[in-house]
A and B are shown apart, each in its own frame.
Chain A
Amino acid sequence: MTDIHPTTEPVRRRTPAYWLGLAFVRLGVLPFLLVAAVIIFALMSDNFLTGRNLMNVVRQSAYLTLVAMGQMFALLTGGFDLSVGTIVAVTSVVGASAMAAAYAAMPDAIALSILIGIIAGILAGSSIGIVNGIGVAVFGVSPFMMTLGVASIGFGIALFMTGGVPVYGMPIEFSDAFGFGDTLGLPTPVLATILLIAALYIVVSWTRLGRHFYAVGGNIKAAALSGIDTRVTLFYAYLLCGGMAAVAGMLLTARLDTGEANIGAAMPLESIAACVIAGVSLRGGVGRVENVVLGALFIGLVQNGMNLAQINSYLQTVVIGVLLIFAVVADQFRLRYMANLQD
């Protein structure tokens, strides 16, 4: 009768399982996946946990990070963008063609040619974002159909322009500076990505526009009744998404030293996967830039680890798909668990 049960409330609350559960609810599934991936790959390959390899992961993940952050805007507003791969391709083809043409016309003005190429590429890519934005925001086409249709149109144009052949003829300095070079001690694409992460974090968390994305995605009617122009907000989401994919496309072009219509095919899946694994809600209204960066890094890490462990590249695609579905299922559990904790 005087026995004190070991399962009284305060004692149970302090168990490691409780803290793990709380961390799961607070942080989502991603931190657990990251830790698991690092342990598994470190065991499978000695080269994995070296400074050089980890820098490699960061560099390889930069492109996906950029696209995934853009994708996050579309997801925040309750839509998504299936045309990010096409945007990367069109940017690459248009940018490379313009740069090569400018360089051929004025072989002495290298910097100017590079600038012309970059501007042309990013404008081309962003204009696809504008088309998406107009379709979704003004005409009310569902994001699924709009971006799927635009993906087909853009890909067709990119193939038509190049005849399916890579575009050569850009000055070697472009690739040296933006593909392989270092700036301020960091690989240029990594530095560019870091700057854009900071910029987008500010946009999302510290500006009115960022708040509007959350409100429109969370409840578009409540947003409209609160005086928010929902069309403009939706338009900006797709414009920003297109813009980020275009920057990634230009940086990839520098890395490959050619303009190609076939790059970016895996981008729609991988960018949405990075966001969802990072806890961005497919229903809109929930998501954070920091987590999306981690999500993209995680996918890069898994791909890198699987390469080191010499896993067949076809099987790697299988693993990414499995991880994506696992993350969504885990999130469902998290919501249910959270509801229980609220009691």
Chain B
Amino acid sequence: MDTSVTGENGAPASGVPTLLKLEKVSKRFPGVLALDEVDFELRSGEVHVLFGENGAGKSTLISMVAGAYEPTAGTIRFRGAPVDLNSVHHARSLGISAVFQEFSLVPQLTVAQNLFLGAEETRNGLLDKRAMRLHAEEILERLGFPLRAGQQVGRLSRAEQQMVEIAKAFRSDLSVLILDEPTASLTERETDRLFELIEQAKKDGVGIIYITHRISEIRRIGDRITVLRDGRYIDTVDAKTASEGDLVRLMTGRVIDQIFPTMTYDPGEVMLEVEHLTTAAGDVRDVSINLRRGEIVGIAGLVGSGKSEIARACYGIEPIAAGRIVFDGAETTGLKPRRMLERGFFYNPPDRRAEGLVMMRSVRENISLPSLDLADFARGVFLRRKSEAQKTRELAERLNLQPPRIEREVDHFSGGNQQKVLLAKCLTRDVKLFVFDEPTVGVDVGTRVAIYEFMRDLCAAGAAVLLISSDLPEILHLTRRAYVMYRGNLKAELVGDEITQETVLGHFFEREAA
């Protein structure tokens, strides 16, 4: 069976030993089946890319391999023998190390202390600080990272913290290395260095599970690609020959045209004018943008490029150092969210768990929260709970909330349905400008299509829509005008046919004269 798979997928020469094998592995969380009988195989010396949308189950899969979760069903085999990876510690003892997007660093400790966290070196029962320090310096030098062992991790930049995470994985003997979008915050030079390390690790026989959304990276270092969708195994293909269209089709189960609706484009008068905005934190510097009724405008950029902060400054939650904001014909610079809501500006935050929803309260209470000042929900200081229930039930039905139970706590819904609750919030009042900040993170394809259609309908009804996204296809297919942010500066404004993957990506990175 092994040989037939090898031939079909053009993997490394047969006879290469299988390091890790997942057989019909499932993982169930309360209310969600995150992985449904998934098969996966990793060979020694290959880079096996995991590909799929947010919420497809990639993170769950690597968490199980790294020992953070235990599978509900199925077997994990390591070098042929079934293993019960019941802790991160156990996985590491087998040489399985993971670098997650969410860092597992203690900001108050130094680089060296973090590197040896949980595996401190001792002498006579006491910490051997000198040995750890020297050992840490040696690891950093071998990896070529410009860090010092004594630096406090909390003071490092995101990219430097990423290096510490990577160094942690390379600290001990490796057999399986898991990298979850490791280049998201690295510069090109740092990325090159990381890829050299990966090449070296491959030569040493390490198997690498690599998660990325970037086609160019897959081409550069990938050997095989396994595609997941909605928690299920879809296919394993050769990284060198699979076309981008194939991958999108495998990932979404649809061709691109079915995912993105056709947008109307009928721009009216100017709704929002941002002039020379600079935020107090310096995340945005001298940025000017504008937005009209009836158009969807995109802001693209990497994490930390300042793309969210523009909208947050307009909404009054990011202090402004300089510049002017004119919304709907009146200056609104520095107004608080309450005043902006009253004027018809609505900001949908990117992280529904952290900022969007009150997880332990009901759907009803969450939906009505931004509009408790309106007659639909309250008379004076008193709530109108019957009217509230009726109104929120209507909205839940309109967005097809599943199950349609508005008294249930938000925490007990799936990610896609939680996102629907978040969207329902902005339908409780009259809104002239909607900001959607990463609206499709962690939702399934069906919900994604629903969200895009939702945005199209708002736009067709004459609202202005600002779409902030690091998901490139979203920007490419939904907007006619897009701004690209890079490190706090407005890098470009692209119109119509100028919005292509190459031009946008070109502005994402530190490339001279794109």
Contact = CB atoms under 8 A, between A and B. Distances in A.
B338 to A, nearest CB: 4
B505 interface: no
Given A215-B369, A226-B370, A227-B338, A285 B30 contact: no
B270 interface: no
B347 A225 contact: yes
B472 to A, nearest CB: 26
Contact of B385 (A206, A222, A281): A206
Give the residue among B315, B372, B382, B425 with the most A Cβ atoms within 10 A. B372
11 contacts: A208-B378, A208-B383, A211-B365, A215-B361, A218-B358, A223-B369, A225-B347, A228-B338, A281-B360, A285-B360, A343-B28
A190 B347 CA distance: 48
A269 interface: no
Given A221-B354, A221-B355, A228 B369 contact: yes
B356 interface: yes
Given A208-B383, A229-B338, A342-B30, A285 B358 contact: yes
A214 B338 contact: no
B372 A222 contact: no
Interface in B79-137: none
B359 interface: yes
B369 A211 contact: yes
B365 A222 contact: no
Contacts of B356: 222, 225
Nearest to A341: B30
B30 A226 contact: no
B317 interface: yes
A50 interface: no
B369 A208 contact: no
Nearest to A219: B358
A226 B382 contact: no
B205 interface: no
Nearest to A284: B360
Given A215-B365, A228-B369, A342-B412, A207 B383 contact: yes
Interface string B313-334: 0010100000000000000000
A222 B348 CA distance: 10
Interface of A: 202, 205-212, 214-215, 218-219, 221-229, 281, 285-286, 339-340, 342-343
Contacts of A281: 360
B349 interface: yes
Contacts of A207: 381-383
A225 B349 contact: yes
Given A225-B347, A225-B349, A226-B425, A211 B358 contact: no
B365 A214 contact: yes
Nearest to B354: A221
Contacts of B28: 343
Contacts of A227: 336-338, 340-341, 370, 373
Nearest to B362: A214
A215 B358 contact: yes
A218 B359 contact: yes
A150 to B, nearest CB: 28
B31 interface: yes
B357 interface: yes
A211 B365 CA distance: 8
Contacts of A228: 338, 369
A18 to B, nearest CB: 19
B358 A214 contact: yes
B62 to A, nearest CB: 23
B378 A339 contact: no
Given A206-B382, A214-B361, A222 B31 contact: no
A208 B358 contact: no
A325 to B, nearest CB: 22
B356 to A, nearest CB: 6
A343 B358 contact: no
Contact of A343 (B31, B359, B370): B31
A104 B358 CA distance: 55
Contacts of B369: 211, 215, 222-223, 226, 228
Contacts of A210: 383
B69 to A, nearest CB: 14
B441 to A, nearest CB: 16
B428 to A, nearest CB: 10
A211 B355 contact: no
Contacts of A224: 317, 337
Interface in B21-56: 28, 30-31
Contacts of B341: 226-227
A226 B365 CA distance: 12
Contacts of B385: 206
B381 A208 contact: yes
Contacts of A226: 337, 341, 369-370, 425
Contacts of A286: 360
Nearest to A229: B338
A315 to B, nearest CB: 37
Given A211-B372, A281-B360, A342-B30, A222 B355 contact: yes
